Amino acid sequence: MKRKGHKHKEYISILMISDTGQGNRQFHISRTAFKILVAFVVLILAGVCASGWIFSPKGSAEEQENLYEQLADAQKTVKRLEEEKAALETDNALLRQENESAAQNSTESEAPNSAEDEDEDEDIPRRYPASGRSTVLSSFSEETPYLSISVEAGGTIVAAGSGMVVQVSSDDTYPVIIEIEHKKNYRTRYMFRSVVEISAAEGAQVEAGDVLLAIDAENMQLDYQITYEDNPIDPLTVIEAKG
């Protein structure tokens, strides 16, 4: 029968000596407890060191420096945007001036053009060739390339457009024929089936609406013809073009 061995616990003695020579003390602690105590102290020191690194003034200084740099960049950006805004406002002012000048020039140029357009419109024989009460007797056709109109007494025969009287003549059908030449290759012919007294002579310049003949006593028939580039066209197509 073997003899059982006994384990002996190991202790560490800590002697605390007073510098005055009085009150010396001695403590005994097991090796395991000592190791635990040392590990605890090491953990505390490590935590203190880590806290000191995290909350060190060095880290705060770097953050502040970064903030200062960002603020400086933001100020530069704001200044640049303000300069660009001022430049845009200047450009807008110049554009407004140019637009106002262009609008003024356009208004000034429109007046002469409008008058010129009106004059050109009067050159085309757009007017109805008679004033007062009248009746259309027959329309334009290939057989009768003119418009026959009966004008009652008190009415007048007028120039349908501005132009020159180039011919006053007659033939077997019409005792009186007045032919007016207009611009843009238009001609008008006023053909009367009876002898009438006209107020226009060859070479005379007439304006649109000028009276060529006044009808006093009785109704009168007018055969009215328009030619364009020497070809007869329906007068109603030209008259209706003006409305």
Structure token pair of residue 117: 């357009």
Average pLDDT value for residue range 153-163 = 93
- Report the pLDDT value the prediction gives residue 185, as an integer from 0 to 100: 93
* Range 130-242 has CATH code 3.40.50.720: no
What is the 3-state secondary structure of the chain? CCCCCCCCCCEEEEEECCCCCCCCEEEEEEHHHHHHHHHHHHHHHHHHHHHHHHCCHHHHHHHHHHHHHHHHHHHHHHHHHHHHHHHHHHHHHHHHHHHHHHHHHHHHHHHHHHHHHHHHHHHCCCCCCEECCEEEEECCCCCCCCEEEEECCCCEEECCCCEEEEEEECCCCCCEEEEEECCCCEEEEEEECCCCCCCCCCCCEECCCCEEEECCCCCEEEEEEEEECCEEECHHHHHHHHC
- Report the pLDDT value the prediction gives residue 31, as an integer from 0 to 100: 64
- Report the pLDDT value the prediction gives residue 169, as an integer from 0 to 100: 94
Average pLDDT value for residue range 102-117 = 56
- Domain boundaries in the chain? 11-54, 130-242
Q: What integer best gives the mean pLDDT of the chain?
A: 78
Average pLDDT value for residue range 207-220 = 89
- Tell whether the model's pLDDT for residue 131 goes beyond 70: yes
| Least confident interval from 89-103, 176-190, 206-220 | 89-103
- Tell whether the model's pLDDT for residue 115 goes beyond 50: no
The larger pLDDT score, comparing residue 31 to residue 69, is at 69
First to last CA, the chain: 146
- Tell whether the model's pLDDT for residue 241 goes beyond 70: no
Please state the φ and ψ torsions of residue 206, each to the nearest 5 degrees: -120, 155
Which of 209, 210, 215 lies closest to 197, judged by CA? 215
pTM, rounded to two decimals: 0.52
User: The tokens 């109805």 sit on which residue?
Assistant: 128
Instruction: Please answer whether residues 236 and 190 qualify as being in contact, where contact means their C-beta atoms are separated by less than 8 angstroms.
Output: no
